[in-house]
Chain A
Amino acid sequence: MEIPETLRYARTHEWISELEAELFTVGITDFAQEQLGDVVYVELPAVGDKVRAGDAVAVVESVKTASDIYAPVSGTIEAVNDALESAPEGINEEPYEHGWLFRIKPDDPAERDALLDADAYRAVCDEES
């Protein structure tokens, strides 16, 4: 199970990377996509949506279940990964690469520091397995 060292994580299995200063890319982790199984539908937020940390902003649906995806920080949605509409399996194939979900401009970039590092996230996964 992959947990890249360079990313930050939420307890709710989202990963966050800094694409550029003050623009975060968000997706779900390898652990999350494995738990879900084959993804069949994705509902993404709209570009321009203002969200608060902890809001359910997207839904990833597999044959087994539908799961809410939570905004890891407060901010504005700057971009969404439209390619997932026709190819949702990208989330299973490359959860950290072309399976990204949305990009968010944080209101307060420092909120990122409250997120988990790879070791802390690994501990979360071990708890839940």
Chain B
Amino acid sequence: MDGPRKDCGGSVLHMNTTPLTHLHEQLGARMTDFAGTSMPLQYAAGIGEEHLVVRERAGLFDVSHMAEFRIAGSGALPYLRYALLNDAAKLKVGRAHYSMLPNEQGGLVDDVYLYHLADEDWLLVANAANRATADVRLQEIAEGFEDVTVRDVSDDWALLALQGPAAATLLDRLVAADLTQMRKNDTKATTLRDYAVRLARTGYTGEDGFEIFTRPGDAVAVWSILQDEGAEPCGLGARDTLRLEAGFPLYGHELGPDTDPRCTPFSWVVKDKPFAGQASWPQLRCKQRLVPLRLSGRGIAREGYQVHNTKDAVVGVVTSGTLSPLTREAIAFAWVEAAYAEPGNALRVLIRGNPVDAIVVDLPFFQPDARVS
């Protein structure tokens, strides 16, 4: 068999850690190098089991590797309206939304989540891999604005994600806030037992759940309280199968420095207002579209695999793919020539030399309410 990918091996000294790294190792996690940080890929249960924990109960993720930026000042709102594609003017205090950070080359620096903490006070969460490039881009745009400060505060926060149908009941027992009053995308500061935390009813799994911002020094305690209360540790492997099944993109796969999000299922993020880099965006004409695929033949579509039409001509490429542990279906995202992008279109994915039948579908890949529990 091909040898296993070398994980930390001897290079662990060069990787960053989160406040929870040692705890993950004690819990028996298989660690991996993710964007330069040692992160848990899976625990003893394995990726498939952890995926089902989130769909059926409450899974607990360490996502402290992600980057956070604090944006403050009376100029913060016009700045954010210009720097990001979604419209920050629509985001009231105590609310959060998904957004994207465009570049000057007609594509994206990152996809992000923006939280409106208080008047003139915002938090932006970006992907760990893009911390440096996002910082550069945010700062260069800020130079054109008055009365706004943008600070990288990633080291001031640890971030956990509690996700699953049992998450709210579990967390409600532990926090001062009344979670029945928190809607999806609400954010508020509260306490979890004795610890100050910020909650957001947000997540990357397609389930109900909460992201929990804590002080780094409190992260181990907060994790332990959640785990003692019944939350089950889940790693980045399950996080990827969950987000794909939920139909969410991952920067570096579905989105990149050349991606026009208007040619993807996430075009709703792009609001009709001026934004930094807009001059570099061409007249809208999508020669290719990002589409969800479901495979009907045997095999798993993986990143980089060719997509063919029924006449065996290459018409696209897979950006992400997996076998859903929940539905047991092979699902994927792929860029395909616009002519083939309609839902219902029959395509083929070339899997190790064999064309496997696939069909373009609409999101979502699965229906939460239709699941057999």
Write the residues of chain A forming the contact surface with B, with a CB cutoff of 8 angstroms: 12-14, 28, 32, 35-38, 40-41, 59-61, 63-64, 66-70, 128
Contacts and interface: CB of A to CB of B under 8 A. Distances in A.
A128 B6 contact: yes
B47 A13 contact: no
Given A37-B48, A66-B352, A60 B1 contact: yes
B323 A63 contact: yes
Sorting the interface of chain B by its residue count into under 10, 10 to 19, 20 to 34 or 35 or more gives 10 to 19
B282 interface: no
A63 B48 contact: yes
14 contacts: A12-B2, A12-B3, A13-B3, A14-B1, A28-B1, A37-B48, A38-B46, A38-B325, A59-B352, A60-B1, A63-B325, A66-B352, A70-B1, A128-B6
A101 to B, nearest CB: 10
Interface string B1-41: 11110100000000000000000000000000000000000
Given A63-B322, A66-B352, A128-B6, A41 B300 contact: yes
A60 B300 CA distance: 12
Contacts of A61: 299-300
Nearest to A10: B1
A38 B300 contact: no
A82 to B, nearest CB: 15
Given A13-B1, A37-B47, 7 more contacts: A36-B1, A41-B300, A63-B48, A67-B1, A68-B1, A70-B1, A128-B4
Nearest to A40: B323
Determine which residue in A12, A64, A67, A69 has the highest number of CB atoms from chain B within 10 A of its CB, and name it: A64
Contacts of B173: none
A40 B4 contact: no
B271 interface: no
Contacts of A32: 1
A104 B322 CA distance: 32
B256 interface: no
B1 A66 contact: no
Contacts of A66: 300, 302, 352
A128 B10 CA distance: 11
* Residue from the set A12, A63, A67 with the largest chain B CB neighbour count within 10 Å: A63
Contacts of B73: none
B94 interface: no
B237 interface: yes
B145 to A, nearest CB: 45
Contacts of B151: none
Contacts of B92: none
Contacts of B241: 63
A3 B46 CA distance: 21
B298 interface: yes
A64 B1 contact: no
Nearest to A69: B1
B32 to A, nearest CB: 11
A71 to B, nearest CB: 12
B352 A12 contact: no
Nearest to A31: B4
Given A38-B46, A38-B48, A40-B323, A63 B352 contact: no
Interface in B33-72: 42, 46-48
B237 A64 contact: yes
B63 to A, nearest CB: 20
Contact of A67 (B2, B47, B325): B2
B373 to A, nearest CB: 21
Contacts of A67: 1-2
Interface string B228-268: 00000000010001000000000000000000000000000
